[in-house]
Amino acid sequence: MPNPFPANTSPYDALLLVSFGGPEGPDDVLPFLENVTRGRGIPRERLEVVGEHYHLFGGRSPINDLNRALLEALRADLAAAGVDLPVYWGNRNWDPYLRDAIEQMAADGVTRAACFVTSAYSSWSSCRQYRENLYAAAEGVPNAPRLDRLRHYFNHPGFVEPVVDAALAALADLPADLCDGARLVFVTHSIPTAMNDASGPDGGAYLAQHTDVAAVVAGRVGAITGVDRTPDLVFCSRSGPPHQPWLEPDVNDHLEALAAVGEKAAVLVPVGFVSDHMEVVYDLDTEALATAEKVGLEVRRAATAGTDPRFVAMVSDLLLERAAAERGEAVSRPAVGGIGPLWDRCATGCCANPRGDVPTIGGE
């Protein structure tokens, strides 16, 4: 997709890739999980159980290698578009940490950076917490740059089009006699229902955004295949106490329910994730596919956007779009579905922190 804006990033003099982070060896697993859960009172025994998921893969999460590949692709895409801009990378929970990235930017003389977060939806854990982390990472750093989070992109064509193509490819990989009847099962990370209720400026944004994009993808897949596709939205990676309500149904429960009513095949579309990190390779490729095999359901898993050139180019589009807007220029904001493009700056109280108000970047 050609970029409608000139290759002018002013007022930004850097791009910061912001992600979750993950362990890179067995000795990292428990310290990483302690970082993730700090302040939540989760017993060490529970962390050790979760840690076994990582040890199935040699104690190494795929996420840092995936971000290295994305970082390389972003730099190449910007250079090809004539954009001369340094790209930094910082994680919330593991090396390279956000603090280190911001200190390096300050040392390099960066004054204002646009932040691309590898999380596409609105909620405290998928948006506001990153904004809190960025504020905390910059606090006290001499000459820290101003940080602006780029807008949400769950409904940007650069994200949606790769998801559509991945779903089509997964359908085509099913036995021919099962393809037309296969269910499209869209999967995202579960969150507490109270967090969903507080997501966005008016509540309910997390669920509404996933529902909207799933309908768009299912509609496009249906139009291409000639078969009406009703999307199923399900959840994975629940981690809260049993008494706390979280978004349901769980992907494994849903696969069992499909088999119980005679369904024969399904495609898992990890629409809540931008790359094949641990929630995808364990919760879907390992656990959910084992459930499908147990109940006799033929299942394929669609690819994530990863380093698809359209997804990579989307980051450049968002950067140049925001830069033009900050310069006071009129911009078009590509979006599909019924919700429309989201805001550049979050409203006060948007995606409220369940444990109380904490300073953030990127708000009104």
pLDDT given at position 46: 81
Paired with 235 in beta bridges are 188, 250
Residues 77 and 211 reside in one and the same domain: no
| Residues contacting 240, CB < 8 A, separation 6+ | 192, 246
Residues 199 and 244 reside in one and the same domain: yes
Residues 137 and 62 reside in one and the same domain: yes
Tell me if 34 sits within 8 A of 52, measured CB to CB. no
Residues 174 and 187 reside in one and the same domain: yes
Residues 257 and 313 reside in one and the same domain: no
Residues 177 and 142 reside in one and the same domain: no
Range of the domain at 199: 157-301
pLDDT given at position 37: 87
Burial of 230: CB neighbours in 10 Å, binned 0-12, 13-18, 19+ = exposed
Here the tokens at position 154 are 């769950």
Q: What is the phi-psi region of residue 98: left when phi exceeds 0, alpha when psi lies from -120 to 50, beta otherwise?
A: alpha
pLDDT given at position 2: 47
The pLDDT averaged over each successive group of 10 residues in the chain (364 residues) is 66 98 95 87 83 93 97 96 94 97 98 98 97 98 98 98 98 98 98 97 98 98 96 93 93 98 98 96 97 98 98 97 97 97 95 93 90
Tell me if 198 sits within 8 A of 352, measured CB to CB. yes
Residues 183 and 113 reside in one and the same domain: no
- Whichever domain contains 166, its CATH number is 3.40.50.1400
